[in-house]
Amino acid sequence: MLRFQYISHLFALGLVPVLIALFLWLIYWRRNKMKKLGDTELVSEQMRGVVQGRSTLKFILLCIAFALLSIGWANLQTGDKTEKVQRKGVDVMIALDVSKSMLANDVQPDRLTRAKQLIMRLTEKMQNDRVGLIVFAGRAYLQVPLTIDYSALKMMLNNVTPGLVPTQGTVIGDAIDMAMQSFSQKERKFKSLVIISDGEDHDEQAIAKAKEAADAGVTIHTIGIGSPQGTTLYDADTRSVKLDENGAPVVSKLNEEELRSLAATGHGSYTLLRNTDDAAEKLIDAMAGMEQKSLGSVVFTDFTSYFQYFLLAGFIILFIEWLLPGASLKVKARTT
């Protein structure tokens, strides 16, 4: 089994195409400058000590070294030793509201960022539970199917923005339906749905959907984020406060009543998000009290790391690049 211990560090590799694009632009800019000075070949001949292709070679070496160091930073590992242990847990689907009202900053830095922080803390406290991610606004979309690969969920969570769901609104009923489709249809227990939202629901069927889920054995917990007093919303198009059709500022408020009703219908709990750790701990305790199912018995307990080889190779290439002179040390003497 191969894995990266810190898979999110591989995002650094995304800088390589950017560096290549900048280098190609620099070559283009230099050529244009040389053309303005005169004939390109003649100008090149007058440049003392220049070695054709040397700068390109040095750049390629730098890119290879950067890629190797990034891979080493992520720490490639192989699982060497397996041990049979009984693993039990529950299936947890997290439904995250990504409507534009979640960008309100009545909680700092904004509602959506705080919700992401809660999910991060929740997965850090999980051990054997399978977890999945749904994002919803006017429609619901499955982002991560049920998995025990928490790092994959965290990586996907970094890219979650309101732009993922083109249809705006807050239709919690769709998120509940999506969760129901993601759970095993053969089991009537071991299933939990966590809805994180400001509760500004535009779906009259949400309570009915929650009752259907509860009848199918799904426990629904809700997390309210925001303030009952609410705050105005920023309109990116006008770069000012968002206004309604009458010209009055739009105020987004936390609808605790809606979220409490959903949790009560789903035989779960409602929590107002104040402290991220406390909210995550409360959810973990609630899931620990549920009946759990067996999730398999073979796990890797010992891993061998290979980061040192990638780091060593990267530093060696950097050293070679440093040794290569930018220009020839020997300059051909002029003939008169």
Cβ(281)–Cβ(125) below 8 Å: yes
- Grade residue 49 by pLDDT with cuts at 50, 70 and 90: low
Which H helix or E strand runs over 199? none
* pLDDT of residue 245 exceeding 80: no
The yes-or-no verdict on residue 33 having pLDDT over 80 is no
Place of tokens 């991220």: 276
pLDDT per residue over 207-236, tens digit each?
Answer: 999 999 999 999 999 999 999 888 887 776
What is the number of alpha carbons within 13 Å of residue 106 lying toward its C-beta?
A: 19
Rounded to whole angstroms, what are the CA distances from 257 to 65, 87, 139, 229, 262? 56, 37, 22, 14, 9
In this structure, what token pair is assigned to residue 221? 């917990």
Instruction: Judge contact between 110 and 104, C-beta under 8 A.
Output: yes
User: How is 7-53 classified by DSSP, letter by letter?
Assistant: GGGGGGGGHHHHHHHHHHHHHHHHHHHHHHHS-HHHHHHHSTT--TT
Let me know: does 179 contact 95? Beta carbons within 8 Å. Answer: yes
Q: What is the pLDDT of residue 167?
A: 78
Q: What is the reported pTM? A: 0.64
pLDDT for the residue numbered 328: 59
Amino acid 66: pLDDT: 95
Taking alpha carbons only, the member of 136, 155, 138, 143 closest to residue 98 is 136
Domains of the chain (ranges, CATH numbers): 10-81+302-323 (no CATH), 88-294 (3.40.50.410)
Please report, as a single letter, which amino acid is at residue 284: I
User: Pairing mode, if any, of strands 231-232 and 251-252?
Assistant: antiparallel
Amino acid in position 282: K
As a whole number, the mean pLDDT across the chain is 84
Among 143-147, 236-240, 304-308, the least confident range: 236-240
pLDDT score at 97:
94
